[in-house]
Amino acid sequence: MSSSRIEILNEGGLRQDGRRPYELRSVAMTFSPQANADGSATMQQGLTTVSATVFGPREPKGQSRSLVQHDKAFISVEVGEAAWAQQGGSKRTRGDKRLTEVAAAIRDTFEPIVMLQLYPRTEISIYVQVLGSDGGILSTAINATTLALIDAGVAMSDYITSLSIGLHLTQPLLDLSGPEESDIPHLVVASLPATGKVTLATLETRIHVDRFEEMLDVGVEGCRILHAEMQEEVRRRTATVVERMQMGQGTTSAVGL
């Protein structure tokens, strides 16, 4: 392996941004209602920000009608990237190969988990927009999609949480930043927190099988930690919605009196 272009770990065992090897980046999650959308959420991991918007389950329209399935729904995914989020001056559009690969990975990740059989002859459309890019686009997009599907009330067998894991010499690193991601071998893991079952593991670099298993274990454990934070945000969101509903009912009762 060629020597690193950046100092991945300093003498104190800290990364460029001051994190320890297994420490996650700061996380922020928001549910932001959008016109005509059934669910939407924005996920920020470090300096990477991704929004996901869900429409459906709904009757397929246009070319999507040819994909209709009589016994279940089908999922369509589109991924775009804001011009200001693109690094290196390269302009990427929805048809870009990399964004197409991200869209396919999101669809493949959620198809086994969403209870598609509950929504026959419908389409669940997921639109993902990358608003800030500093490593971990796919994993952040998966996490944003999980939250948006929950916001839309789409039935799933479990949460899906995702993180990237890199390997510096023999040391696994969790939740990579952009410079780390471009400099060391890494994989993206998505898993179900309840069982630890891995639903996605993408690896673009050769790694010894023993190291791969170690990285996978670290990733699954990291996903459990992230799940706890996402679950807490969903609980806060649910409590807010219930409170608003109760206030609305109270107002109606007062008017009725």
The chain-wide mean pLDDT, for the chain, equals: 89
Give the rounded percent of residues in the chain with a pLDDT score beyond 90: 72
Query: Model's pTM, two decimal places?
Result: 0.90
The pLDDT value recorded for residue 173 is: 97
Task: Provide the 3-class DSSP secondary structure of residue 161.
Answer: strand
pLDDT at 255: 35
Exposed/middle/buried for 64, CB within 10 Å: 0-12, 13-18, 19+? middle
Paired tokens of 82: 């804001």
What's the pLDDT at 217?
Answer: 95
- How many Cα atoms sit within 13 Å of 250 on the Cβ side? 6
The predicted pLDDT at position 167 comes to 94
